[in-house]
Amino acid sequence: MPIKQYHFETNWQFEADIEQIWGLINEFNYGDWWKGLDSKRIGESSVKIGVGDRFKLFFHTKLPYQLSFESEVVKVNSPTYLEIKAFGELEGSGIWKLSQKGSITHVQCIWNVNSNKKWMNTLAPLLRPAFVWNHNQVMNEGAKGISDSLGVRLVSL
């Protein structure tokens, strides 16, 4: 894998209805419940989130750096699938997949991105494990945020 390329796969399980989880993920108001993440819709619309909608995302990480990028919704299949393309400091794709079995909702987030931050790419041969750890910490905050916001049990990370 080229040094600036990253593949992340995160899996969470919640004791919750799929529609509850989908409601948080698909609304893009991440700053309301995800510690360290701010999101802002680009352009105004009173319509529900759909293909073509764009957002600016700001990640305040555990390590002393931030990441920001714009995203555009490219595919939605409520309440099971959301795909975005990312561009800016990260470029690539992000996919949310949700499924429910009994009372458990499984959430999978897949990121295939390239870093466009020169300093990160320069230091990646040495610091890549720290960048991966940092990503995992950000995602753990997301799982905790869903659990706390909805008052549901996080079954597994």
CATH number, domain with residue 72? 3.30.530.20
pLDDT of amino acid 93: 98
Indicate the number of domains in the chain. Answer: 1
Could you report the per-residue pLDDT of 51-60, keeping only the tens digit for each?
999 999 999 9
Burial of 7 per CB tally in 10 Å (0-12, 13-18, 19+): exposed
Kindly report the pTM of this predicted structure. 0.93
Torsion angle defined by CA atoms of residues 26, 13, 138 and 93, in that order, rounded to the nearest 10 degrees? -50
| Average per-residue pLDDT for the chain | 95
Q: With a cut of 80, say whether residue 89 has pLDDT above it.
A: yes
Q: What is the mean pLDDT of residues 74-91?
A: 97
pLDDT of amino acid 157: 82
pLDDT of amino acid 152: 98
- How many angstroms separate the Cα of 47 from the Cα of each of 41, 86, 136? 12, 22, 32
Structure tokens at 97: 């997949």
Task: Report the C-alpha gap between 113 and 99 in whole angstroms.
Answer: 24
pLDDT of amino acid 66: 96
Task: Report the C-alpha gap between 154 and 104 in whole angstroms.
Answer: 10
Q: With a cut of 90, say whether residue 46 has pLDDT above it.
A: no
Q: Which domain holds residue 75?
A: 5-156
Q: With a cut of 80, say whether residue 63 has pLDDT above it.
A: yes
Task: Report the C-alpha gap between 16 and 61 in whole angstroms.
Answer: 27
Token pair 């893009």 is at which residue? 28
Residue pair 146/33 in contact by the 8 Å Cβ criterion: yes
Structure tokens at 30: 């991440």
Could you report the per-residue pLDDT of 133-154, keeping only the tens digit for each?
999 999 999 999 999 999 999 9
pLDDT of amino acid 2: 78
